[in-house]
Amino acid sequence: MDGFELRGPGPDRRSGVAIHFRDNGAEPASDPADFYVGRLYCWAWNDSVYRVDRGVGPFQCRHDFLRMDDCDAGGEDALIEWRSTYGPANKFGTIVAYPTADRSGSDSTLLYQRGGELAVGDVTVGGSAGRLVGVRAGRLHVDRLHYEPVGQRSVPGSLVRVGPVGGARFDDVVVDSGAVEYVYELARGPGTPCSRARRAVGGQSGTTSSPSPAGSTGHGPRFTSGGRPAST
């Protein structure tokens, strides 16, 4: 599939999920494999835009370009919810999102991952954006995060929150507008509160920061299970 648009109902009505992979109760061999999307545009959905349920594990699925405008996932985990606990080698090339908070009244998180393996190229997020990435488990590699929110409803505690299981790597983070307390927040262990990593936007490991100013950049480390920075 390439070059198509999925239009939601707008801010005045509830919507379902634009793209939803559900558990069919069958063997993993029946899970989506080699699913390919070229350019996809989603507009005015009031739910998650892209959701993969627990119990289904996409395998080597590719998405070249995904843009989400005027979507509101403030009442959900994220615009993209990857709840699967397995499934390797899935990739998004470019993700662009300008969410709204007109229906929920809350900023939208971009990506929530519970497991599996994801790679993302370039990410640009504006509008009513909150946290960019929340990783509970699994493996995630992001080349570049570009954060430029307008009209934030609140200041997120961190742009990237990494859980204690699995690994995550972020090559570059840019904050062009808005404010954020920390770039990285690392979990201490299952069921315990997260401790915010002392890594400010544009700072070095071991420094703290107030809400970080626009125009700052942070070159991110890799993180492995347990929330400890990996050697580079």
The sheet carrying 19-21 orders its strands as 19-21, 50-52, 80-82, 111-113, 133-135, 158-162, 182-187, 194-196
pLDDT at 37 over 50: yes
pLDDT of residue 189: 58
Mean pLDDT over residues 36-52, rounded? 96
Q: What is the pLDDT confidence band of residue 203, given thresholds at 50, 70 and 90?
A: very low
> Is residue 212 over pLDDT 50?
no
Q: Who wins on pLDDT, 200 or 32? A: 32
Report H helices in 59-179: none
Please provide the average confidence, as pLDDT, over all residues in the chain: 83
Q: Is the dihedral of CA 83, 130, 89, 116 positive or negative?
A: negative
Mean pLDDT of 69-73: 96
For the cut 50, the answer to whether the pLDDT of residue 225 exceeds it is no
Region 5-19: mean pLDDT is 91
pLDDT at 209 over 80: no
**Residue 206 confidence (pLDDT):** 29
pLDDT above 90 (res 205): no
pLDDT at position 165 is 81
Residue 167 has what pLDDT? 83
Task: Tell the residue number behind the tokens 């954020």, with chain if given.
Answer: 180
Identify the band that residue 10 occupies on the pLDDT scale cut at 50, 70 and 90: confident
Tell me the C-alpha distance between 34 and 51, whole Å: 17
Q: What's the DSSP call for residue 109?
A: P
CA–chain centroid gap for 192, Å, is 21
Per-residue pLDDT tens digits for 58-70: 999 999 999 999 9
Task: State the average pLDDT over residues 70-93.
Answer: 94
What percent of the residues of the chain are helix, what percent strand, and what percent coil, each to the nearest 5? 0, 45, 55
Q: What is the pLDDT of residue 126?
A: 95
Partners of 57 in the beta sheet?
none
Mean pLDDT over 178-186 rounds to 88
Instruction: Please state the rounded mean pLDDT for residues 83-93.
Output: 93
Q: Is the pLDDT of residue 187 over 80?
A: no
* Residue 170, helix vs strand vs coil: strand
**Residue 163 confidence (pLDDT):** 85
